[in-house]
Amino acid sequence: MDFELSEEQNLLRDSVRAMLDRVATPEYVRRCDAEPHYPYELYDAFVEIGLLRMPFPESVGGLGGSVLDFTVIAEELGRKSYDFLGAYGNCVFNGLNVLNNGTEAQRKHWLPKLLDGSIRMSISMTEPGAGSDAGAMRTSARRDGDHWVINGQKVFSTAAGAKNNVINLYARTQPEGPHQQGLSLFLVNNDTPGITLRKLDTLGRRALGTYEVFFDNVRVPADRLVGEPDKGWTYMLSGLQLERLMTTAGYCGGAQSAVDLALAYAKDRKQFGRPIGSFQSIAHMLADMQTAVDASRLLMWRAACKLARGEDALMAVSQAKLFGSEAYANIANQGMQIMGGYGYIMEFDMQRHYRDARATTITAGTSQMQRNLIAGLMGLKTK
Ligand SMILES: Cc1cc2nc3c(=O)[nH]c(=O)nc-3n(C[C@H](O)[C@H](O)[C@H](O)COP(=O)(O)OP(=O)(O)OC[C@H]3O[C@@H](n4cnc5c(N)ncnc54)[C@H](O)[C@@H]3O)c2cc1C
């Protein structure tokens, strides 16, 4: 059992960190959140240093990085902003889905464009009537000659409105039949006629934006259906463990950043003639916060190592996601307490962690759904 990063992983982390320090300055992070502004400049830097190519195999122009490399990158991006990880991760896990489930022609057409930064990818599963119960989605795709015709509505589609974005859309290709069968995956450019995007005003995660997407007789060529028809549910599940691992790495990065901010503040801020960090109640909070980050990180690495070995990591990933998200939300809350009134004003970054972290127990499967899953794997029926 080895708890250390390899020399190559340390080098990777340092190069990502250096790129972030150069591009994602504190002013840039605040601007992306406040305006809000999609981090296009940072995305260009991902492309420039080959970050998008890292998780893809050399056969499609990638660098052949491992799950562990991907985890290192995700944690570093999450340290700056969970949305910066979202900009990267959305493209990576949707691209990997095309790699693993698309046809040869689809791999050749889409992946070079994704890796050279000329397109981005987002995912649209959730609908107003289908959240945790994703299989209940009603958006439909009907075959019409050489085309599919799509009608329906998605909600909470992160970054769907970004420039040159291709929506990875799950839609129903069989109106009848069991709940989670008859779904297919489509690649739909977000400027296709018949699509209307409406950006939602959210508490946090503001840089990428999350959108309602309306499909009104949207026609796409037949080859926009990824892989085979009616296999959407299987494709969706096939990438889920990596997606949740990635989000968990982002939570660890964000939580560490919140602890670092609170610790620096507690050492600097004086009340009653001494640093507030010398009051035991504050010091113990910080000790608990760092312990929670390290526990999240250990759960995350355990899940990453299982996935890297090609094992089924569903239990380990769900536990890491559950614990990591709740830890980040609690830590950001405690960080606000340590910073007193200053934590509550927009000039300090703790409030952004507080707002961003609040979404983590809801997105990528709520905490309740993770507990259902874990309990189910323990042999308990929770339905
Ligand atoms: C910032 C943000 C970004 C998002 N990005 C995307 C995206 O890019 N693409 C996308 O497709 N979706 C995205 N989502 C949607 C997200 O995945 C859903 O919000 C999530 O799955 C929950 O669905 P819901 O909001 O409809 O809540 P519901 O499913 O209605 O749940 C409401 C409450 O009931 C609980 N609940 C529901 N069913 C059960 C059950 N069986 N047992 C116990 N408790 C239950 C839930 O845990 C929750 O507390 C995003 C959401 C947010 C907030």
Give 260-269 pLDDT, tens digit per residue.
Answer: 999 999 999 9
Rounded to the nearest angstrom, the distance between the alpha carbon of 362 and the centre of ligand 1 is 6
**Which residue owns the Cα nearest ligand 1 atom 17?**
363
**Which residue owns the Cα nearest ligand 1 atom 35?**
368
Give the DSSP H or E segment for 12. Answer: helix 7-23
CA-CA distance, 172 to 193, in Å (whole number)?
20
202-247 residue pLDDT tens: 999 999 999 999 999 999 999 999 999 999 999 999 989 999 999 9
Side-chain half-sphere exposure of 174, counting CA atoms within 13 A: 16
Assigned CATH for 239-377:
1.20.140.10
The distance from CA 96 to its chain's CA centroid, rounded to whole angstroms, is 14
Whether 248 and 324 have beta carbons less than 8 Å apart is answered as yes
Rounded to the nearest angstrom, the distance between the alpha carbon of 120 and the centre of ligand 1 is 23
CATH 3.30.70.100 given to domain 122-228: no
In this prediction, the residues of the chain whose per-residue pLDDT falls under 70 are 382-383
Rounded to the nearest angstrom, the distance between the alpha carbon of 127 and the centre of ligand 1 is 10
The distance from CA 76 to its chain's CA centroid, rounded to whole angstroms, is 13
Rounded to the nearest angstrom, the distance between the alpha carbon of 144 and the centre of ligand 1 is 33
Sequence letter at residue 303: A
**Which residue owns the Cα nearest ligand 1 atom 38?**
132
Phi, psi of 275 (to 5 degrees): -60, 140
**Mutation choice for ligand 1 from 132, 157, 374, CB with most ligand atoms inside 8 A:** 132
**Which residue owns the Cα nearest ligand 1 atom 25?**
131
Rounded to the nearest angstrom, the distance between the alpha carbon of 363 and the centre of ligand 1 is 6
Rounded to the nearest angstrom, the distance between the alpha carbon of 88 and the centre of ligand 1 is 21
Query: Which residues does 122 contact at the CB level (< 8 Å), separation at least 6?
Result: 90, 94, 157, 158, 159, 160, 162, 165, 166, 167, 168, 190
Neighbours of 2 (CB within 10 A): 7
For the chain, domain boundaries = 7-118, 122-228, 239-377
Nearest atom of ligand 1 to the alpha carbon of 202 = 1
**Which residue owns the Cα nearest ligand 1 atom 50?**
156
3-class DSSP state for residue 173?
coil
**Which residue owns the Cα nearest ligand 1 atom 24?**
131
Nearest atom of ligand 1 to the alpha carbon of 124 = 11
Terminal Cα distance for the chain, rounded? 37
**Which residue owns the Cα nearest ligand 1 atom 15?**
156
Collect contacts of 105-110 with beta carbons under 8 A, ≥24 apart: 105/223, 106/187, 106/223, 106/226, 106/227, 107/60, 110/166, 110/187
7-118 shares its CATH topology with 122-228 = no
For residue 46, what are its two tokens?
């991902």
Fold of the domain built from segment(s) 7-118:
Butyryl-Coa Dehydrogenase, subunit A; domain 1 (1.10.540)
Rounded to the nearest angstrom, the distance between the alpha carbon of 39 and the centre of ligand 1 is 25
Nearest atom of ligand 1 to the alpha carbon of 210 = 3
CA-CA distance, 93 to 61, in Å (whole number)?
16
Sequence letter at residue 200: L
SS3 of 306-342: the string is HHHCCCCCHHHHHHHHHHHHHHHHHHHHHHHHHCHHH
Say what the pTM is: 0.96
Rounded to the nearest angstrom, the distance between the alpha carbon of 325 and the centre of ligand 1 is 14
The pocket around ligand 1, CB under 6 angstroms, is made up of: 122-126, 131-132, 156-158, 202, 205, 210, 359, 362-363, 366, 368-369, 372
CA-CA distance, 359 to 78, in Å (whole number)?
14
Query: Which residues does 378 contact at the CB level (< 8 Å), separation at least 6?
Result: none
Nearest atom of ligand 1 to the alpha carbon of 159 = 8
**Which residue owns the Cα nearest ligand 1 atom 37?**
132
* pLDDT computed for residue 383 by the predictor: 63
Diameter over CA atoms, the chain: 78
Nearest atom of ligand 1 to the alpha carbon of 368 = 47
Rounded to the nearest angstrom, the distance between the alpha carbon of 135 and the centre of ligand 1 is 13
Side-chain half-sphere exposure of 152, counting CA atoms within 13 A: 24
**Which residue owns the Cα nearest ligand 1 atom 13?**
156
Rounded to the nearest angstrom, the distance between the alpha carbon of 126 and the centre of ligand 1 is 8
